[in-house]
Amino acid sequence: MAEYVYCNGTLVRADEAHVGIYDHGFLYGDGVFEGIRAYNGGVFRLTEHVRRLYRSAHALSIRLPMEQDEFRAAIIETVKANNMQSCYIRVSVSRGTGLGLDPEQIHNDPTIIISTRQLRLYPQAMYDEGLDVITASTRVPPAVCIDPQIKSLGRYINNILAKMEANRVGAGEALMLNMAGNVAEATGDNLFLVRDGALITPPTSEGALVGITREAVMKLAADLGVPVSEKVVTLYDCYTSDETFLTGTAAEVIPMVRLDSRAIGSGKPGPITHAIIDAFRRCTATECEPVYA
């Protein structure tokens, strides 16, 4: 079956879609994106993802040519065109095309690409047994320089470099620190600690993305009666926590059981982590916007 992508208002075969060589996203990382998941014929947190996309675009003064409900419909139509039940949906938006940094000197007509693929970041064994994680030497950009609330294309080069550090030593993931030495996030995930029965996660001001899965987990924890707070997190806090897990659209919820050769808690996924994973799976099974209704 042919693979279709949404390309600037039209569904086309993936092998026929193209982006111009002077596209600002390609030349300068000048754009925004979202990663979204579909489960069993429904899209998870579609409205929240599209809202975040539009907030990111507005923050960069990128003017999208359609309303949010039209964009949601385009995402659903792309999933339908590929007859996907469960998949990873990638939405990419660039400012437009033209050579040179100055947005006033380019054709400000955003390039919009929506695609669907199967994606699994980690093997099942890592979900069952937990991740072995390192601390990367590559830091997240300071929040005063690049606001982590903007999910921009150009920001992620540091995350890629940190992931390469993890790959070099065979680790499943890497934590990234900010310039103050506090933990911000993992290369593609948010971080949660469990201490004395409560969850702690770094705030956005420390360099963490306000993740959609992060927000879902915070609500699920509250529903389970598990207190949640946003606090500055140090490596010491991670090393000495009772449990730790990571969250993200692609990763979902995955336990982290070792950090820098130190066991976290018992060295196995803990009871609160298991409870959050189970609650998240129930959530994705029941709270998706239907594609094929």
CA distance 217 to 221: 6
**DSSP per residue over 18-85, as a string?**
---TTBHHHHH--EEEEEEEEETTEEETHHHHHHHHHHHHHHTT---SS-HHHHHHHHHHHHHHTT-S
Buried b (16+ CB within 10 A) or exposed e, 99-112: eeeeeeebeeebbb
28: left (phi over 0), alpha (psi -120 to 50) or beta: alpha
What backbone phi and psi angles, to 5 degrees, belong to 225? 80, 20
Identify whether 151 is a catalytic site residue: yes
* Closest to 128 in 3D by CA, of 277, 235, 242, 291: 277
Long-range contacts, 180-184 (Cβ 8 Å, 24+) = 180/206, 181/234, 181/235, 182/206, 182/232, 182/233, 182/234, 183/233, 183/234, 183/235, 183/237, 183/238, 184/140, 184/148, 184/208
Choosing from 80, 151, 163, 268, the catalytic residue is: 151
Helices (H), 156-253: 157-168, 212-223, 235-239
125's enclosing H/E stretch is helix 124-129
Instruction: Give catalytic residues, as residue numbers.
Output: 151
